[in-house]
């Protein structure tokens, strides 16, 4: 029987590759719409998705031709060769993607088994203060079944009890809590016994604090620590004075060792779960967990190592003395502000000290607060440019100072912007007594009704507008509803001002505008996550991550471009502005960005506290540091009292002058 006259069922197997090639064609066409994405093969070498279209289309057409059987033998051989070649190319791409998986930001904590060696007998010696030391090994012996020795099959029970940490807290109790806190972090994350992996460490933190606070001296504290941690760390030893640790002999039946390996910070944060207990101990537990988490796993430890270590005792005291939910939240924010990570802004689950808003927004210059926008139906004497003097009897300068003490920021611009956003917040919906001075110098006092929703800082000005003939302004911190039509307008522009004072609202910049500003592929900043198997950030290994790339798309814009930025621009906004800075894609006008880039990890703590923190290291394109430095402007503009009172946008004005001078 000739091949052309085979029964249809004999050729039905070709329907499967036709379906597969069809799906691959559609997928390739979809991927071609996105100018950003990971490179496929060799690190920095870019592989555009469009390159796949030819082999995928050839595979689809060859499969269809073989299924239809409309061609002679020689042509069928050609189609088979084309089909095999297409399959080989696609297989090579898939292999490249598989090879690249190790550069993707997938992470987790795992116990890694290792062979017995001289290193496996090493000890960690931790100074806990009060003449106390914790001595333990980060390597735990295991038997043939992989169980840690000495084996404890029962999950440790955590007795919470009703007794709380006493208040006011004594100096001895405070020193006890500091010692416990330091030991807790080491044994939770670097002592991988079977019992430790199943223990409820968040409940242990609360129970341990209440127990250790009772110790009257260092010797009693040593005994309490040894007894408390024995179920989860039977080989750990707490020593006092000049005691020397006894050698840790390997138990009978030892077949190897295990150690903790923590790859990245995100899985660690996800494994922290809120627990409930006595009020003060529960709140203090959130401090203990947070301090250890950032101490052992922050990718920027060298930046704040000394102040962070000294912050533990001070923060434990302030949280222990907090009498209300508001006091607790303020104390916790003051604690985390020391870390100087702009991603951090703790929130309380059951309390929002700024759940309502005064009916105006402000801008700050020289430490003074000036009205920027006013809600409708308010006191007509309150107008933009008025200086706020006090709110409910508290001076504006004190209000700014209190907010600034809670902002975890790395530069003055970010602190000021945080104060501007938080200043109008009110805890209740009751009327607020506000005093202000008008631009004419008249002092006014009035009772204002707070809003349920805060005013937007930028108002309702047009997101896309032609400021002057041929000079366009676009605010990318608000969603771009019609990106293609917007690009058609910008194609005719002689100059474009891009406002990125804040966070980009959507993908307009990287998907539509920036591909029209470049001649070749541009990569984002180098990013990495730490791999930790020892405490105190020793022996870290950095895992470099794949860097997304933006590729040219369409005819390059001829317009001159200026980007507006300030301390509110952080995280992904800094990724985009770093591209502008490194590749000289336009002028940068305003103030330095926040200097906190890299994916943020989420954490929910006991006491109802939650926050984000930076779990990834970002560097500049040249490999130098970025944290707390940020993207620096080519033209620096800081708001002035005169400019604010006159209602001027001085950053925008400077951008206009800069573009006009070119």
Query: Does residue 481 surpass a pLDDT of 70?
Result: yes
3-class SS string, 439-454: CCCCEEEEEECCECCC
Distance CA 106, CA 599 (A): 12
Question: pLDDT value at position 655?
Answer: 96
Question: pLDDT value at position 603?
Answer: 93
Distance CA 12, CA 489 (A): 52
**Mean pLDDT throughout 128-133?**
95
Of residues 551 and 630, the one with the higher pLDDT is: 630
**Mean pLDDT throughout 303-312?**
77
**Mean pLDDT throughout 18-44?**
59
**Mean pLDDT throughout 48-64?**
69
**Mean pLDDT throughout 218-222?**
97
- Give the pLDDT band (50/70/90) at residue 44: very low
The alpha carbon torsion through 94, 97, 102, 107 (nearest 10 deg) reads: -100
- Give the pLDDT band (50/70/90) at residue 40: very low
- Give the pLDDT band (50/70/90) at residue 20: confident
Question: pLDDT value at position 46?
Answer: 47
Distance CA 365, CA 410 (A): 18
Share of the chain above pLDDT 90, in %: 56
Share of the chain above pLDDT 70, in %: 84
Single out the residue of 597, 557, 577 nearest to residue 510, CA to CA. Answer: 577
Q: Which superfamily is assigned to 347-379+387-396+404-457 in CATH?
A: PDZ domain (2.30.42.10)
**Mean pLDDT throughout 623-630?**
90
What are the DSSP calls for 219-287, one per residue? HHHHHHHHHHHTTT-TT-EEEETT--PPP-PPPTT--EEEEEEEESSHHHHHT------SHHHHHHHHH
Distance CA 308, CA 36 (A): 38
Whole-Å CA distances, 214 to 171, 177, 178, 658? 12, 10, 13, 66
Of residues 107 and 624, the one with the higher pLDDT is: 624
Quote the mean pLDDT of the chain.
85
User: What angle (nearest 5°) sits at the alpha carbon of residue 185, between those of residues 182 and 186?
Assistant: 90
Question: pLDDT value at position 10?
Answer: 45
Using CA of residue 69, residue 74, residue 76, residue 82, what is the dihedral sign? Answer: negative
Question: pLDDT value at position 634?
Answer: 97
Cis bond before residue 168 (omega within 30° of 0): yes
Cis bond before residue 150 (omega within 30° of 0): yes
Question: pLDDT value at position 11?
Answer: 55
Question: pLDDT value at position 39?
Answer: 39
Highest mean pLDDT, choosing among 147-156, 345-354, 503-512: 503-512
- Give the pLDDT band (50/70/90) at residue 246: confident
**Which tokens in the block code for residue 552?**
């040219």
Highest mean pLDDT, choosing among 53-57, 540-544, 569-573: 569-573
Reported as a single tens digit per residue, the pLDDT across 552-568 is 888 999 999 999 999 99
Lowest mean pLDDT among 169-183, 207-221, 381-395, 548-562: 548-562
Single out the residue of 605, 602, 604, 611 nearest to residue 282, CA to CA. Answer: 605
Of residues 229 and 15, the one with the higher pLDDT is: 229
Please identify, in words, the CATH class of the domain defined by 464-660: alpha beta
Query: Does residue 503 surpass a pLDDT of 50?
Result: yes
Question: pLDDT value at position 442?
Answer: 96
Q: pTM for this one? A: 0.84
Highest mean pLDDT, choosing among 234-248, 276-290, 500-514: 276-290
Question: pLDDT value at position 66?
Answer: 67
Query: Does residue 507 surpass a pLDDT of 60?
Result: yes
Query: Please, how many CA atoms are within 13 Å of residue 159, restricted to the half-sphere of its CB?
Result: 6
Number of H-type helices and E-type strands within the chain: 18, 29
**Mean pLDDT throughout 269-276?**
90
Reported as a single tens digit per residue, the pLDDT across 320-335 is 999 999 999 999 999 9
φ/ψ (deg, to 5) at 476: -90, 5
- Give the pLDDT band (50/70/90) at residue 62: confident
**Mean pLDDT throughout 62-75?**
66
Single out the residue of 518, 507, 512 nearest to residue 552, CA to CA. Answer: 518
Question: pLDDT value at position 43?
Answer: 41
Lowest mean pLDDT among 103-112, 501-510, 548-557: 103-112
Question: pLDDT value at position 131?
Answer: 95
Of residues 307 and 80, the one with the higher pLDDT is: 307
Question: pLDDT value at position 31?
Answer: 62
**Mean pLDDT throughout 100-120?**
69
The alpha carbon torsion through 291, 294, 297, 303 (nearest 10 deg) reads: -130
Q: What is residue 652's three-state secondary structure?
A: helix
Reported as a single tens digit per residue, the pLDDT across 643-660 is 999 989 999 999 999 998
**Which tokens in the block code for residue 224?**
């309490």
DSSP label of 370 = E
In the beta sheet, which residues pair with residue 127?
Answer: 133
């Amino acid at each position: 029987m000739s091949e052309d006259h085979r029964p249809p069922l004999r050729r039905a197997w070709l329907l499967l590759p036709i379906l597969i090639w069809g799906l691959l064609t559609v997928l390739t066409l979809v991927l071609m719409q996105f100018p950003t994405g990971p490179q496929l093969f060799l690190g920095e070498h870019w592989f555009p998705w469009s390159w796949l279209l030819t082999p995928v289309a050839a595979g689809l057409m060859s499969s269809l031709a073989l299924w239809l059987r409309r061609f002679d033998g020689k042509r069928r051989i050609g189609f088979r060769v084309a089909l095999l070649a297409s399959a080989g190319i696609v297989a090579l791409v898939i292999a490249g993607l598989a090879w690249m998986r190790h550069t993707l930001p997938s992470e987790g904590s795992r116990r890694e088994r290792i062979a017995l060696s001289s290193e496996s007998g090493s000890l960690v010696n931790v100074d806990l203060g009060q003449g106390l030391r914790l001595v333990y090994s980060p390597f735990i012996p295991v038997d043939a079944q992989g169980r840690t020795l000495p084996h404890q099959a029962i999950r440790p029970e955590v007795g919470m009890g009703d007794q709380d940490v006493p208040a006011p807290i004594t100096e001895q109790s405070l020193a006890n809590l500091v010692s416990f806190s330091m030991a807790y972090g080491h044994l939770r994350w670097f002592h991988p016994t079977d019992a430790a992996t199943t223990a409820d460490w968040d409940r242990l933190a609360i129970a341990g604090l209440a127990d250790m606070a009772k110790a009257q001296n260092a010797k009693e504290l040593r005994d309490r620590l040894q007894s408390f941690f024995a179920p989860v760390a039977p080989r750990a030893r707490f020593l006092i004075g000049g005691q020397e640790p006894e050698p840790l002999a390997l138990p009978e039946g030892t077949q190897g060792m295990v150690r903790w390996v923590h790859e990245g910070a995100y899985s660690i944060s996800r494994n922290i779960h809120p627990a409930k207990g006595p009020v003060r101990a529960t709140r203090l537990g959130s401090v203990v967990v947070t301090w250890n988490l950032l101490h052992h796993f922050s990718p920027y430890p060298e930046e704040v190592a000394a102040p962070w270590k000294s912050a533990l005792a001070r923060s434990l005291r302030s949280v222990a003395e907090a009498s209300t939910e508001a006091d607790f939240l303020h104390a916790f924010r003051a604690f985390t502000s020391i870390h100087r990570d702009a991603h951090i802004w703790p929130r309380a689950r059951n309390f929002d000290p700024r759940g309502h808003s005064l009916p105006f927004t402000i801008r700050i210059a020289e430490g003074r607060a000036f009205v920027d926008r006013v809600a409708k139906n308010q006191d007509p004497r309150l107008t933009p440019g008025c200086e706020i003097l006090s709110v409910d009897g508290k001076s504006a300068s004190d209000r700014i100072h209190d907010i600034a003490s809670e902002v975890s920021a790395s530069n003055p611009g970010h602190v000021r912007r945080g104060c501007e956003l938080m200043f109008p917040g009110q805890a209740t919906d009751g009327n607020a007594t506000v005093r202000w001075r008008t631009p004419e110098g008249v002092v006014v006092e009035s009772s204002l009704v707070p809003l349920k929703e805060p005013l937007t800082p930028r108002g309702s000005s047009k997101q896309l507008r032609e400021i002057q003939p041929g000079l366009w302004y676009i605010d990318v911190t608000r969603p771009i509803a019609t990106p293609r039509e917007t690009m058609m307008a910008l194609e005719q522009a002689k100059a474009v001002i891009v406002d990125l004072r804040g966070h980009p609202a959507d993908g307009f910049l990287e998907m539509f505008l920036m591909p029209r500003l470049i001649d070749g592929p541009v990569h984002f900043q180098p990013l990495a996550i730490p791999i930790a198997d020892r405490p105190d950030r020793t022996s870290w290994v950095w895992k470099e991550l794949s860097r997304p790339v933006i590729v040219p798309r369409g005819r390059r814009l001829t317009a001159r471009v200026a980007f507006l930025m300030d301390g509110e621009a952080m995280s992904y906004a800094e990724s985009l502005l770093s591209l502008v800075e490194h590749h000289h894609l336009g002028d940068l006008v305003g103030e330095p960005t926040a200097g906190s880039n890299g994916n943020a990890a989420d954490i929910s703590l006991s006491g109802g506290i939650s926050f984000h923190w930076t779990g990834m290291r970002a560097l500049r394109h040249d490999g130098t540091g970025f944290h707390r430095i940020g993207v620096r402007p080519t033209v620096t503009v800081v708001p002035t009292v005169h400019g604010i009172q006159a209602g001027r946008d001085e950053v925008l004005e400077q951008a206009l002058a800069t573009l006009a001078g070119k």
